[in-house]
Homo-oligomer: A and B are copies of this chain.
Amino acid sequence: MANFLNFLLPQDKKFFPLFEKASANLQAISKVLVAMVSTEDSVKRRELIKEIERLEHVGDNITHEIFNELNANFITPFDREDIHELVSSLDDIVDYIHGSAKRIEHYKIEVLPTEVVKLAELVLSAAEELHKAIIELRQLKHANKIKEACVKINSIENHADDIFDMAIGRLFEEEKDAIKIIKMKEVLSALETATDKCEDASNVLEQIIVKNA
């Protein structure tokens, strides 16, 4: 099967660079996210939120481009539905990153608890693993590297769950202002959902290697 795929690769030149563009953009927006939640300078933070918005649009365009290729090409490097699911989940991660940034801005949140920084860092780690794994898709010979990345993403997502639960628990214990609780819960849950979506992407990758390796 791997040989058959290698033979087809020249015709599928379009897809692999697009997948990598999508995961590189995800990695980029995740880096800006970490910087944005780490700074205490409100002017700097606002600039970084603008940059997150810009990268979300970039991501939308890449997603659209891949869907168009998918509809225009009869031959695809993997099952069309797997490509669709992979790209949709990368798009979802970017959306939730953008969502957390929008909430910080619209709710005029100034002080972020350490758990927000921790969750943003976990999103970045998962994004880096996804990017590595997606680069390996070109040559399924290195299926092991993809599997390793998926195992790491899985453990990142479990870790994020624990951080989220702790953060909410601490919030209910320390914060007595219900409105502040509501706002912070929304930010934390957007970030936690971002890591869930990383796991969704990782599950599709696992499926692809099982089918094709």
A interface residues with partner B (beta carbon < 8 Å): 71-72, 102, 106-108, 165-166, 168-169, 172-173, 176, 178-179, 181-183, 185, 207, 210-211
Q: Tell me if A107 and B169 are in contact (CB < 8 A).
A: yes
Partner of A182, one of B72, B166, B169, B178: B178
- By beta carbon, the residue of chain B nearest A185 is B182
List 7 tightest A-B contacts by C-beta distance, closest first: A178-B178, A71-B210, A106-B169, A178-B179, A106-B165, A107-B172, A102-B165
Nearest-CB distance from A184 to chain B (Å)?
11
User: Please, which residues of chain B bring their CB within 8 A of the CB of A168?
Assistant: 106-107
Query: Per DSSP, are chain A's interface residues mostly helix, strand or loop, or mixed?
Result: helix
- By beta carbon, the residue of chain B nearest A176 is B179
User: Please, which residues of chain B bring their CB within 8 A of the CB of A71?
Assistant: 207, 210-211
User: Please, which residues of chain B bring their CB within 8 A of the CB of A207?
Assistant: 71
CA distance A179 to B169 in the complex (A): 12
- By beta carbon, the residue of chain B nearest A170 is B106
Question: Would you list 7 pairs from A and B whose C-beta atoms are within 8 A, ordered by A residue?
Answer: A72-B210, A102-B165, A106-B165, A172-B179, A178-B178, A178-B179, A178-B182
Known: A71-B211, A107-B169. 10 other contacts (CB 8 A): A71-B207, A72-B210, A102-B165, A106-B169, A107-B172, A108-B173, A176-B179, A178-B178, A178-B179, A181-B182
User: Please, which residues of chain B bring their CB within 8 A of the CB of A179?
Assistant: 172, 176, 178, 181
Partner of A172, one of B72, B183, B210, B211: B183
User: Please, which residues of chain B bring their CB within 8 A of the CB of A183?
Assistant: 172
Knowing A182-B178, A182-B185, A185-B182 are in contact, say whether A108-B210 is a contact too (CB < 8 A). Answer: no
User: Please, which residues of chain B bring their CB within 8 A of the CB of A107?
Assistant: 168-169, 172
User: Please, which residues of chain B bring their CB within 8 A of the CB of A182?
Assistant: 178, 181-182, 185
